[in-house]
Structure 1
Amino acid sequence: MKQHETAPFWETKTLEALNPQEWEMLCDGCGLCCLNRLQDEEDDTAPIYLTRVACECYDIKAGQCSDYANRFEKVEGCMRLSVERVAEYDWLPETCAYRLIYEGKSLPAWHPLISKDPHTVRPHGMYALNPILDNEFIDLEDYIVEESI
């Protein structure tokens, strides 16, 4: 690093020290947190199963939330990711920047903050692959994509 350059914010600040804009910038836009998960409601220690079924606000073509600003009002159970709860986010993919920074790890080369290109996520397979939209007729158990997380 040249003498006049400074390290990027995600390398110099703790998650608690990030401002709201920096917190949002950590998101790589993969959409994996927009996929429905299943867990035994009576057992918080039970495995979490990821499905291919995306939230009703997920825009499949764009690969992102169709109403990000109003998602909490529109979707019951949409979780606000926050620094106060980051220790609970072991259900997020291992590539998630929130999880990586919390665990003291570096961002991958394909992350938009590193590559300077928001489209580098998809060529590396880091996105909600072939999602379908949630509706009342879907049985989530038919769409599990991993054994558990």
Structure 2
Amino acid sequence: MKTTHERFWETKRLDELNFDEWEALCDGCGLCCLHRLQGEEEDDPILTTRVVCRCYDLARGCCGDYANRFERVEGCTQLTVERAAEFDWLPETCAYRLRHHGLPLPSWHPLISGSPQGAKQHGVPALGAVLETDEIDLEEYIID
């Protein structure tokens, strides 16, 4: 990964990041890969399930085809600067959400710890995730 500043996330706004810096902010927790449900009304709460899309690699704990995810998975949401501000369902530990609010990254974040497994080592990943199938009823897997 090439960045222009060693601790770029502390000095740049999200809209100033280059592609590599933007991608480096992701800690790989997989929580944004979980399916969500929302009622028909705009102000209905967004409910998170333990179900991940078919593209997710449960063994590795990450997207199995990250480069092609938008073509392969209908509804896969691309996180943008604008969406980081809108998506209050993003995990509280999400670096995009934290930096949008001007908050520091957690000490276990790969950019700080140097470990790509930082999120997993601190119990942050999509624990107990279930792979999506045609037979799954998402409502049965809602996380409280």
Per the shorter chain, which TM-score range?
Answer: over 0.9
For structure 2, the residue ranges without an aligned partner over 5 or more in a row are none
SS of the aligned residue for 1:109 comes to coil
Q: Does 1:78 align with 2:53?
A: no
Q: What is the TM-score of this pair, normalised by structure 2?
A: 0.94
Q: Is the 8 A contact 2:52 2:129 kept in 1?
A: yes
* Aligned residue identity for 2:123: G
CA distance in 2, matches of 1:99, 1:86: 6
Give the number of equivalent residue pairs.
140
The equivalent residue for 1:22 is 21
Q: 1:1-149 to 2 correspondence within 5 Å?
A: 8-40=7-39, 42-146=40-144
Q: Over aligned residue pairs, what C-alpha RMSD do you find?
A: 1.1
Q: TM-score, normalized by length of structure 1?
A: 0.91
CA shift digits 1:84-116 (9 cap, x unpaired): 322112110000000000011000000000000
- Structure 1 segments, 4+ long, off by >4 Å, are none
**For the pair shown, which has the larger CA radius of gyration, 1 or 2?**
1
Q: CA deviation at 1:7?
A: 6.4
Identity %: 61
